[in-house]
Amino acid sequence: MKEVVWIFGNSTAGKETFIKYVVESRDEQLYARLDWKSKNVKASVSSIRNIGQYNNDPVTLKHDDILTEVPLLLREADVVLIKWQIVDSEANRIEKLMAILPNVRHRIILIATPHNELVKRLLNKSWWDDDDVDAFIEEETIGLEELIGSLKDKLLITEISGNPKDYTYYTSN
């Protein structure tokens, strides 16, 4: 069965790193654990390229391209990975894609990265300009947990370590 996979996680959790690793490495062990053995896995380029910071950001609005790009990718691919942003949930893109592709399995992979690692990564980002990194991470994590909780009855959710040297995982539902 074809599959659409939204890659969730905090800011700097490693969503894009995970997507690139999966597509480029074709790690046989990881593919087997994710039930993708012998499957053609592609990434949604528009979900990676169009990273905006707020809802009306013209770049963020280009995230709607996901809704046309993913069905096209699924003509050749078995699995399409999408880098999730909060604006995708705010615009109901997950639900819209589920309606567009009702005969495709929809899934979330949550990249779980420890708080202290998120702090280090955020402080190294050129766009980071908030004084209270801990409060930012805590608020973002609470929002992410609530969102995942609201989707757990609709989608399979798999949690994976945010450490690129150890993409171990377990399924939480």
The rounded distance, in Å, linking the Cα atoms of 16 and 41 is 14
Q: Which long-range contacts (CB under 8 A, 24 or more apart) does 135-138 make?
A: 136/11, 137/10
pLDDT of residue 124: 84
Using CA atoms, how far residue 156 sits from 76, 94, 110, 135, 172, in Å, is 23, 13, 11, 29, 8
Q: Residue-wise pLDDT tens for the chain (173 aa)?
A: 999 999 999 989 999 999 999 999 888 989 998 999 999 999 999 999 877 665 666 776 777 899 999 999 999 999 999 999 988 888 899 999 999 999 999 999 999 999 988 988 888 877 777 778 888 899 999 999 999 999 989 999 999 988 777 776 655 55
Q: What is the pTM of this model?
A: 0.91
Q: 102, 165, 113: which is closest to 144 by C-alpha?
A: 113
E-strand stretches of 84-147: 105-112
Give residue limits of the domains in the chain.
3-171
3-171: CATH class: alpha beta
